[in-house]
Amino acid sequence: MFCPKCGSVLFPKKEKGKKVFRCSCGYSDKKMQAPSFKEEVKPKEEIPIVEKEVVPLPLIDIECPKCGHKKAYYWTVQTRASDEPETRFYKCEKCSHTWRDYS
């Protein structure tokens, strides 16, 4: 419970054999009521199921060495020293074969 005057927390104290809520500003509440808590449980939202794998990578024209398909996704990673070029990885759009190019 909070003080209606200053907003501080009211603490239980004993005055003349009775329990009262008292604030540091001097306010006291003679009606000693046990605090009650209410909990509201909201139903869970359903998570949508994605049937198809979504690939957020750029698509370029390059031939897959495994199936010969002409399109592949690519990304780059710095696998060697920083003064050397980064490694480019490719993933075939059709068969998902992954290969790399060091140039």
Nearest Cα to Cα of residue 57 among 22, 95, 89: 89
| Sheet of 11-15, strand order | 11-15, 18-22, 28-29
86 is catalytic: no
Mean pLDDT of 26-39: 72
**Spatial contact of 11 and 22, defined as CB atoms under 8 Å apart:** yes
Does the annotation count 63 as an active-site position? no
For residue range 15-31, list pLDDT tens digits in order. 777 778 888 887 877 76
Confirm whether pTM is higher than 0.75: no
Q: Which of 63, 84, 86, 101 is catalytic?
A: 84
Residue 34 binned pLDDT confidence (cut-offs 50, 70, 90): low
